[in-house]
Chain A
Amino acid sequence: MAPKKNLLGPTDSDSSSVSDQSASNRSVNRSLRVAEKERRKNEAEDPLVLALKYFSDVEAGTPVVGNDEFENNLVLVERAAYSKGLSSEAVAVMLEFAMSLRMGTSPCVRVLKCLIPSTVVPQEAVVRAVVWLGVGKIPISTQVLFIKWVLTVFDMIDAKDQLRSIYGFIFSFVTEENLCPFICHLLYLLTRKESVRVFRVRKLLELQSKLGRQPFLLHLLSLYKVFCPELVTLSVPSRMRSGFRNHNSPWKSALIAVQKRNGSQVASSSSLPFTIKDMSSSRKRKHGHLELPVLSSLVNKQAQTESFSRKLVPLVQLHSFTQLLENMHRIELPAQMGSLLGSSLALQYLDCVQDESALLRLNFWLGYALHEEFLFCGDGRASQNSEEALQFLDKLLSTQHFLQEAFSSSEAFLYKFLSVWDGSLLRPQILSLLSHIPVVPSAQIGRLLFEPLMQLFFTSSLFFKCGLIECLNNMLLKWLTWHSVYALEDDLDISLNSHTSINMTLSGFKDSVMELVHFVGRLASVGLQLEGCHSLLLSFILDFYETVCDTFLRYGLPLVVMPPPAVFYPVLFSPDPVSVDRLAYIMYRYKVNLTSAKSQEKVTEQAFHISRQTFREFNNYVVVMVNCLWNSKMFHPGMGVQLGEELLLKSNVPQYWTSFDLVNHPAFLSYAVDFHQRCWPGRKDVDLNSIKHSKPWSWYLEYLYSQGYDGLKQFVPAP
């Protein structure tokens, strides 16, 4: 399809493209119809068709008890429903039969339970059924069951326009106490700006005062508030229970089973030119992309009338970025917010428009989906759909990556998930989701994040430890990047998330960052001890401190935190030269940051203040490092590491003060020997002390620096 085509403009070429499209649609419809006829012919003698005929024709008042014909037919329908699902006509017939109570209430429940659609649910049937609700003969429990069924198959209803037009009628059921939670959920899914009216808000508030602050009422009200903030003055809590808790697992698992079976069949036969099932064969329906077939039928009707200059444009109709730009002001969001995740255009729209209602709906859907899939599994589902879960989380991750921020619902989900996580399930996805979360206020960071993570960290394997440190490093990097982007706009107040209104002061942000750095410091200290200073873990920890040492210069955050001694000393004495070199580089960057902070403090009055303690720690580390590596003054009194004189003598190590200098340090010993051989090729006995003389020493340093140890070179430049 040509990228610049404008479906809505008045020019000739454009109108031809419209007719092109409708023509192609017509041909598709025709082939569909032909296929349908073919199928009908084959099924003329099908017992299922006869059964359905029975249910559509059966007279009111026919007895149920002892009615073998009824029983046989219903069993047939049930069997078909659970194996292949019911076609849309069958759903319509059965729903009409059940809701009209033609044979009393007892078969109604049974029929509702087996209403598993194979493709779509016709909207007309649902509307008719809702109308039957109003007749008032159906018992409340059955009414609840029906609404639950509608919620479960909501995404499969072929269009929502008629349902929206009876919004008021559906709303009237809100007063029924048992139905209320489910009706609220349904209304949430149907609400548009036009549906928010004063009297409805008033009714909901009245209900709230009667029933208390119920989450379902709050959710609906918060959506109303987004659409019409002037009508809803109620304060809505920022962190709410995520989602409505209307779990319909029996239907859902039956639906999934049917869809899986159908999906594989479609793949094998592929008789139709394009089918709805194609879209959802590999993934679950609600995780699918924009559902083109369903929405396009509605679109075509509009296209024929050609009178929608002021009407809304569905997002599906747009195919290029230019089109998006031209129609930015009149975009209609799809019925399924989840479909936005699959389309980069939709994400672009979300990103620039900052549409509160779209984000709220998306967040709502996402929170619900995440909760259902990962925290509220049915029996044995955890293992069954791990492939789907993987794809879903990957999609979510790439979306968050695209938008460069996390959804609040995924954040809320993570906090819950962490508290029941085993540390291995979907580890890469969970850890990257975790690294995306926005800055957590320092008052809550410990409870929400650190406690569960600490328990996981210390009971898990080395690889988990490394993974978590990496994840926390990425989290810190993201926070610092946010800061460096938003702090430019305003000196003190940084709104960390462009969409949500979490404002944070600079000092609040600094507190959170400091908490995070200290937390990783604790993890690293004890982790190194428990894992015997494993060099892999060490490397991840050094990665983290490479971020920390540069917070001031690279990200403009006036904060300097030194690594704890339990990290510094193991690195300094580590037997691998790369770690020691990286430590030297980190100390060098600390020095650069601290000196530039100090010089800024002198120039501008209001520069930040670095505590003396930080300088003292830094100086102490530098002294230890230089004394130990360059000056051969290990265990000198007044340094960080002290041992009793007599104890050192007792150890019988000759010249113990030189044992960690650049010649004798276990990490560099091999270099010293190599250097010795090159310097004095003739000598048989190796005397490393001869390197210490001033001439060979400077050669030795140059030799070391030439081996790629730039950190050491920057830390103490060659004379």
Chain B
Amino acid sequence: MSLLKPFSKLPGLNTANILLVEGEEQFQQSLADALVEETAFTVNVRLAKSLPLPLENEESRPRIDLVVFIINLTSELSFQSAEASLKYLDPGYFLGKVCFMVTNARNASVPTEQLDAVRKLAASLHCPLLFAEDQTPDGVTNAAERLMTILKVAAGLVPMATSLYLSSLTRCTVPLDIDQPSFE
């Protein structure tokens, strides 16, 4: 078992590396296509089904600046696989270099408990939780843009900002149930 470490390698010049982890490989590819369109700096997108990453490419693999777990709420498996992958990350990643991206949150077939579970997971790890509309091209572009905002900070491309700083502003909180009737 090998841990992925955030600071074991040197960063490249004007480069940001992002790792998209998705068990079902549905959204990964379109998101990656949208991500590499950035022109201001080089974006390397790595895709994985789950962690740990295979040992064979260990040497050639660049330093990963941001790990994104994509969770499809309509599938229980997708959540479980993300949860299982988490333990192959170095604790250093949880200082702002991990985020969760959820798809299908507005779907009728999603039980509310499923979303709550993801929220709890993200909140307990102090990570941001982003929602994405993977069905529409606009939604994909927007999701890529938002990941890019976080990635730029995580890769050190924004002066005066660190990923830990950003994550203290964006991390997920578990909301109390709004549905709960309040008896005044």
Contact = CB atoms under 8 A, between A and B. Distances in A.
A7 to B, nearest CB: 44
B136 A459 contact: no
B173 interface: yes
A297 interface: no
A375 interface: yes
Interface residues of A, number: 44
Interface in A445-471: 447-448, 451-452, 454-455, 458-461
Contacts of A425: 133, 136, 138-139
Nearest to B173: A451
A454 B175 CA distance: 14
Interface string B139-175: 1011101100110010000111100001001111101
B139 A422 contact: yes
Most buried by A among B132, B138, B169: B169
Interface in B114-148: 115, 128-133, 135-136, 138-139, 141-143, 145-146
Contacts of A423: 142, 146
A66 interface: no
B105 interface: yes
Contacts of A455: 128-129, 169-172
A581 B171 CA distance: 37
A459 B170 contact: yes
Contacts of A235: 183
B40 interface: no
A698 interface: no
B133 to A, nearest CB: 5
Contact of B108 (A239, A249, A421, A458): A249
B170 A420 contact: no
A28 interface: no
A415 B175 CA distance: 11
Contacts of B143: 422
B146 A460 contact: yes
Given A237-B183, A376-B106, A461-B145, A421 B131 contact: yes
B163 to A, nearest CB: 12
A532 B164 CA distance: 18
Nearest to B158: A530
Nearest to A452: B175
Nearest to B152: A530
Most buried by A among B115, B160, B176, B178: B178
B132 A422 contact: yes
A422 B131 contact: yes
A533 to B, nearest CB: 11
A529 interface: yes
Interface stretch (A188-196, A310-318, A379-387): A379-387
Contacts of A386: 136
Most buried by B among A213, A239, A247: A239
Interface range for B = 35 or more
Nearest to B109: A379
A447 B178 CA distance: 9
Contacts of A379: 107, 109
Contact of B179 (A241, A378, A447): A241
B182 interface: yes
Interface string A232-252: 000101111100000101000
B113 interface: no
A485 interface: no
A419 interface: yes
A422 B142 contact: yes
B184 A237 contact: yes
Given A424-B139, A425-B139, A529-B161, A458 B170 contact: yes
Contacts of B135: 380, 382-383
Nearest to A249: B108
A247 B178 contact: no
Given A425-B139, A529-B160, A460 B108 contact: no
Contacts of B106: 374-377, 382, 420
A416 interface: yes
B181 A237 contact: yes
Contacts of A716: none
A652 B166 CA distance: 35
B183 A376 contact: no
Contacts of A292: none
A377 B107 CA distance: 5
Interface in A366-403: 374-380, 382-383, 386
A30 B102 CA distance: 57
Interface string A200-244: 000000000000010000100000000000000001011111000
Contacts of B131: 420-422
A382 B184 CA distance: 36
Nearest to A239: B182
B138 A424 contact: yes
A218 B107 CA distance: 26
B181 A459 contact: no
Contacts of B159: 532
Contacts of A237: 181-184
B182 A526 contact: no
Interface in A424-454: 424-425, 447-448, 451-452, 454
A378 B108 contact: yes
A423 B170 CA distance: 14
A459 B160 contact: no
Contacts of B158: 530, 532
B133 A382 contact: yes
B91 to A, nearest CB: 22
Interface of A: 213, 218, 235, 237-241, 247, 249, 374-380, 382-383, 386, 412, 415-416, 419-425, 447-448, 451-452, 454-455, 458-461, 526, 529-530, 532
25 contacts: A213-B181, A235-B183, A237-B181, A237-B183, A238-B184, A239-B181, A239-B182, A374-B106, A376-B107, A377-B106, A379-B107, A382-B135, A412-B178, A416-B178, A419-B175, A422-B133, A425-B138, A425-B139, A448-B178, A455-B169, A455-B170, A459-B130, A459-B170, A530-B153, A530-B158
Interface of B: 105-109, 115, 128-133, 135-136, 138-139, 141-143, 145-146, 149-150, 153, 158-161, 166, 169-173, 175-176, 178-179, 181-184
In the A-B complex, the 9 residue pairs with the closest CB atoms: A424-B142, A237-B181, A420-B105, A376-B108, A383-B135, A458-B169, A422-B131, A458-B170, A459-B146
Given A420-B105, A422-B132, A425-B139, 16 more contacts: A237-B181, A237-B183, A239-B182, A378-B108, A380-B135, A415-B178, A416-B178, A419-B175, A451-B175, A454-B170, A455-B170, A458-B149, A458-B166, A459-B130, A459-B149, A532-B159
